[in-house]
Amino acid sequence: MAMITMSHVRKAFGSNEVLKDISLAVDPGEVCCIIGPSGSGKSTVLRCINRLVPIDGGEVVVDGLSVTDPKVKDVDLRRRVGMVFQQFNLFPHMTALQNVTLSPRKVRGLGAAEADELAMRLLAKVGLKEKAPQYPAQLSGGQQQRVAIARALAMEPKVMLFDEATSALDPEITGEVLAVMRDLAAEHTTMICVTHEMGFAREVGTHLVFMDGGVIVEEGEPRAIFDNPQAQRTKAFLSKVL
């Protein structure tokens, strides 16, 4: 069964139709990369999955929970979905460790010692164990984003969403964040990545989605699409970015 199923999802902000009839299925262990020009609705697709944005029509089911079902609580949905943002959005008044332990303690109800242990394990996983007592302002952009990944993983989610996780970083430091994402993919973490990193989408992705103007223009096996795009719009886009 698919981990995430979107069927005929529609979303408009005022008169601006951002998503027009989006249908997409992501299986457990898949790394689904969404590419496309700015304003094509890629980020909104991610935000519909954890209800940060309520949808206007259609249906999204996450691990058996429907986002349109009023009986499904926000917290139950969001515990299953980790999210990493373009601007990191770390909490500046908390240390790296406190950023990571907040959700385990307040949402999952872990004790302080247990949460600290989990957080240290995750910070070690992203290579930042020694940065645990530092504040975000003391960390580089790449380090901040790796803390943000550890923070999302601390919910022990079923799926990880990456919203242009490397777009705010200098080119020479995107590598350290992509390396962490590669590790997660190698562990068969279910991931949906909105990205401009075509190399990552091609090599790590198992499923590629090309969006433009609020619709999915083309989707399938990444290498097949990169090497032999079918739609005219996909060809035009790839010829510009590759």
For the CB of residue 19, give the shortest distance to other proteins in the complex, in Å: 18
DSSP symbol at 225: H
> Interface with other proteins by CB under 8 A: which residues?
50, 52, 74-75, 78-79, 81-83, 85, 87, 89-93, 102-103, 106-108, 148, 151-152, 155
Nearer to other proteins, 144 or 234 (CB): 144
CB atoms within 10 A of CB 75: 10
For the CB of residue 77, give the shortest distance to other proteins in the complex, in Å: 9
Return the CA Rg of the chain. Answer: 18
Nearer to other proteins, 107 or 231 (CB): 107
For the CB of residue 44, give the shortest distance to other proteins in the complex, in Å: 13
Contacts of 64 (CB under 8 A, 6+ apart): 1
For the CB of residue 57, give the shortest distance to other proteins in the complex, in Å: 22
User: d(Cα 50, Cα 52) in Å, to the nearest integer?
Assistant: 6
Closest CA to 165 of 200, 120, 122, 189: 200
- Written as six digits, the tokens of 27 are 């299986």
For the CB of residue 82, give the shortest distance to other proteins in the complex, in Å: 8
Helix/strand number for the chain, H first, E second = 9, 10
- Written as six digits, the tokens of 118 are 């989990």
Nearer to other proteins, 152 or 177 (CB): 152
Nearer to other proteins, 68 or 86 (CB): 86
Classify strands 57-62 and 4-13 as parallel, antiparallel or unpaired. antiparallel
User: d(Cα 25, Cα 126) in Å, to the nearest integer?
Assistant: 28
| Residue whose tokens read 């302080």 | 112
Nearer to other proteins, 38 or 232 (CB): 38
For the CB of residue 172, give the shortest distance to other proteins in the complex, in Å: 24
Nearer to other proteins, 13 or 91 (CB): 91
